[in-house]
Structure 1
Amino acid sequence: MCETHGIHYSLHNSLFRACKMFTLVLLVASTCTLVRARPSLNYLEEPYTNESAQSGPEEVRSAAIKRLLAVFGMDDPPAAVAHRRKQPPQYMLDLYNTVADVDGVTKDPYLLEGNTVRSFFDKLHSEQVEFRFNLSTVARTEKILTAELHLFKLRPQPTLTFSRHHYCQVSVYQLLDATITNSTLERKLLSSRLIPIHSNGWEVFTITQAVRSWTVEEGSNLGLQVVVRTLGGSQMELKLIRFASGRSHHQSKQPMLVLFTDDGRRRSTTLEGIDPDNSQVTSILPQTALAAPASSRSARSVDQVTEEEGALKPCQRLPLYVDFEEIGWSGWIVSPRGYNAYHCKGSCPFPLGQNMRPTNHATVQSIINALKLIKSIETPCCVPDKLYSINLLYFDDDENVVLKQYNDMVAGSCGCH
């Protein structure tokens, strides 16, 4: 009887251990699946490793530049022959400084409407109040959000008197082709408002409807016409109200079309995941690298391992400066001249503290690694857990100035994942 009871107890104990091991295998298998689902950290480097083994430095550099251009949504860099002699419109410079800091990092992703702003100069250079802009660089896939006509109103000539009129009505029309529209109308009203006659400076009119139609129907872009009338509705002499033209006035006062678009890329996650105790966005934006303790260790490389340390330094964010001049892009990029992308480096040892910002998955992985349940399971990796966008102000192939926002370009902070 005792012998039978002992056999049953032994069998029961074996089954219990088998079930326990089966559960552990399932947990590890699940963890392995999740780990394998994460792309290899070297997936971007593998092609370069192969190329560098078979190609020379110039071929490797060319391939690297081509990939970098793809990140910025370009096939080839814009021609930069005459760009050095041209001054970007002040409006575009001011807009860039509004949305970006000195390194080009986005201050607030919601300040800019869409992710692309282009400025176009008038191609007619006419003394009359007619304007035409070449929008061929705008892709059909881009969503037209807002289009504005910027005109610089000149100060009235001092020899003329304006005793009868103090305001005028300025109207902007889209010129139409009656044969295409099957209409007798030759123009369509886009915007109209009152302007003081004695004023001078920039006047802005919304012309979004016209630009949307131009990008949909090829050949429909016949330009714009500006008409100035008195408050009574009669035509006003051009001598009384004058706008700067591209022919006889300085480039800084040329008529300009400003176009806000969105190319469909997802919005930046700059403001997502901010610590609730840290409401200041600027405090987590890229800054200089964290100062190391004042000791002999601060001068040593992060990669150096000593017997006292025993391992790499904990996961941290380190500088990684991208210099556009060294790449050869300074001829067409206006701002910034470069930016600090930062990179993450360091170890994620067990146990993972909250200062390493670990995910639940990383915590489980570190436990499996620490217990050495499976040899192939490594420690979690030190990677960016916040990414910020940067803004580029540059000349395109048609010498238009473009402000474009690129997502996920700067490592804002690092964590174990």
Structure 2
Amino acid sequence: MLVFVFSLAALVCTTAARPSLNYLQNHFSAVEESEEVRSAAIKRLLEVFGMDDPPSIHGHKQPPQYMLDLYNTVADVDGVTKDPYLLEGNTVRSFFDKLQSEQVEFRFNLSTVARSEKILTAELHLFKLRPQATMTFNRHHFCQVSVYQLLGSTKTNNTQEKKLLSSRLIPVHSTGWEVFTITQAVRTWMVDEGSNLGLHVVVRTLGGSLMDLKLIRFASGRNHHQSKQPMLVLFTDDGRRSTTLESIDPDDATAASRLPHAPMSVPPSRSARSLDHSDEDGTSMPCQRLPLYVDFEEIGWSGWIVSPRGYNAYHCKGSCPFPLGQNMRPTNHATVQSIINALKLIKGIETPCCVPDKLFSINLLYFDDDENVVLKQYNDMVAGSCGCH
């Protein structure tokens, strides 16, 4: 009998502690809805950054120093554009040589470049190594380095035709990066992918004879560190344009670099509608710019984004009461609307809204699906200032 009482009590306790079926259904429905909202939000954010899916990165590579330096030149620590005229186009892509040949032939896979992108400039970056010590006594001080586009083979003697793209003199005893413009070849490859047979580099003396490759050496992808590998750099324009406000006035190009730094943790934003906005103490807050930090690590993008780790988008909040002072940067339309609202000449006309009246672009340095490093500039990402509109 005692055992029966204990069993009954345990059953009652278990039943009481177990959530009801309705509760579980509501809980899982809320979780599923939350996941759906998050998934839809991430998808929409990817669209803002011009992507269908986040790049899949299999291993963490070191970005080329050239791309890191370029990013630091055009962007501040938060990724905000320093000067919109520093970068040619809005996208810079870097590609490593796929042949990894010991010879002076190079090939680059451009499959990640959209056909809609306009090729502005294409550069071949080669790292010139120091001549071997035994060859330094050579009487040649300069050499002629020529870059050719490889074409199809001729039917007669089976030799491969080539087209000259760039040629210039280089000091024999120098070391470091040498850059050659090959825009014409890349534009051809973008039109006809099958025509991409690679590049060939020829080094000659000033007299025209071929030079000893032990004297003039360029780093290859096979035998040298990644930091010295042959690289193709493309400056392109993907056709995106600002559709809202003008990003930066040409006479105020340094404005973005003067943006104040804001705390990384900020309270959630409320509606931008200003009629009933009040601070916690009950007083009306005038239209102003407040912090809004976007953390890429929290979103789950830190694996493929190199820089920045996040950025301050800012947001506008506050009221636009009558009369609108010049400190609220009102448009003429907003001023008239404010007057109509104050005089109640027309029913249903609200006060103007506190919204961004200047927007700045940010720069993103990231790995794409092929683990190439891309620098892309995105317009209208940071509220530079707020006004009543």
In the superposition, the TM-score normalised over structure 2's length comes to 0.84
Task: Using the TM superposition, give the Cα deviation of residue 137 of structure 1 relative to its aligned residue in structure 2, in angstroms.
Answer: 0.8
Give the superposition deviation at 1:184: 8.7
Query: Helix, strand or coil: the match of 1:77?
Result: coil
In the other structure, the counterpart of 1:66 is: 43
SS of the residue corresponding to residue 234 of structure 1 reads: coil
* Residues 361 and 377 in structure 2, CA contact (< 8 A), matched pair in contact too: yes
List runs of 5+ in structure 1 lacking aligned partners: 1-51, 290-301
C-alpha contact (below 8 Å) 1:286/1:411 kept by paired residues: no
How many Å separate the matches in 2 of 1:286 and 1:135? 39
CA distance in structure 1 between the aligned counterparts of 2:250 and 2:189, rounded to whole angstroms: 41
Q: Who is 2:327 aligned against? A: 355
Give the one of 255, 265, 269 matched to 1:281: 255
1-structure distance, mates of 2:93, 2:250: 31
CA deviation map 1:65-119 (0-9, x unaligned): 000000000000001221x2x1000000000000000000000000000000000
Work out which of the residue numbers 184, 188, 193 in structure 2 matches 1:213: 188
Question: 2:150 matched to 1:175?
Answer: yes
8 A Cα contact 2:128 2:177, kept in partner? yes
Residue number in structure 1 paired with 2:14: none
Distance 1:216 1:104, change over 3 A: same
| Greater than 6 Å deviation, 4+ residue runs | none
Per the alignment, residue 91 of structure 2 pairs with: 116
Per the alignment, residue 87 of structure 1 pairs with 62
Q: What residue identity is the alignment partner of 2:219?
A: A
Alignment partner, residue 269 of structure 1: 246
Amino acid at match of 1:416: C
Select 2:306's aligned residue among 313, 331, 334: 334
Structure 1 residue 352, shift from structure 2 partner: 0.4
Aligned-residue Cα RMSD (Å) equals 2.2
Contact persistence 1:286–1:340 (CA under 8 A): no
1:363-409 residue CA offsets vs partner (Å, 9 max, x unmatched): 11111111122331111000000000000000000000000000000
Paired residue for 1:244? 219
- Deviation at residue 282 of structure 1 after TM alignment: 5.1
Does the C-alpha gap of structure 1 residues 194 and 162 become closer, same or farther in structure 2, counting only changes over 3 Å? farther
- Measured in 1, the distance between the counterparts of 2:253 and 2:121 equals 32
Q: Partners in 2 of 1:216 and 1:286 — Cα distance?
A: 45
User: Which of the numbers 368, 371, 384 marks the counterpart of 1:412?
Assistant: 384
Cα offset for 1:270? 3.3
State the distance in 1 between where 2:378 and 2:88 align: 14
Q: How far did 1:218 drift? A: 2.3
Distance 2:45 2:52 in 1: 10
Q: CA deviation at 1:160?
A: 1.9
Between the aligned partners of 2:198 and 2:133, the Cα distance in structure 1 is 32
CA apart distance, 1:281? 2.3
**Aligned residues with identical type, % of pairs:** 83
264-273 vs 86-95, greater mean Cα deviation = 264-273
Distance in 1 (alpha carbons) for counterparts of 2:58 and 2:293: 26
- Look up the SS of the partner of 1:176 in the other structure: strand
- How many Å separate the matches in 2 of 1:149 and 1:283? 31
Alignment of 1:134-213 (within 5 A): 134-178=109-153, 186-213=161-188
Aligned length in residues: 344
TM-score of the two chains, using structure 1 as the length reference:
0.79
**Contact 2:96–2:108 (Cα < 8 Å) also in 1:** yes
Task: Output the CA distance in 2 between the equivalents of 1:346 and 1:400.
Answer: 43
TM-superposed CA distance for 1:201, in Å, is 0.5
Report SS of the residue matched to 2:193. Answer: coil
Structure 2 gaps of 5+ residues are: 1-28, 264-276
Distance 2:311 2:101 in 1: 41
Counterpart position of 2:209: 234
Once residues 279 and 342 of structure 1 are traced to their aligned partners in structure 2, the CA distance between those partners, rounded to angstroms, is 19
What do the CA deviations read for 1:20-70 (whole angstroms, capped 9, x no partner)? xxxxxxxxxxxxxxxxxxxxxxxxxxxxxxxx9895111110000000000
Structure 2 residue aligned with 1:36: none
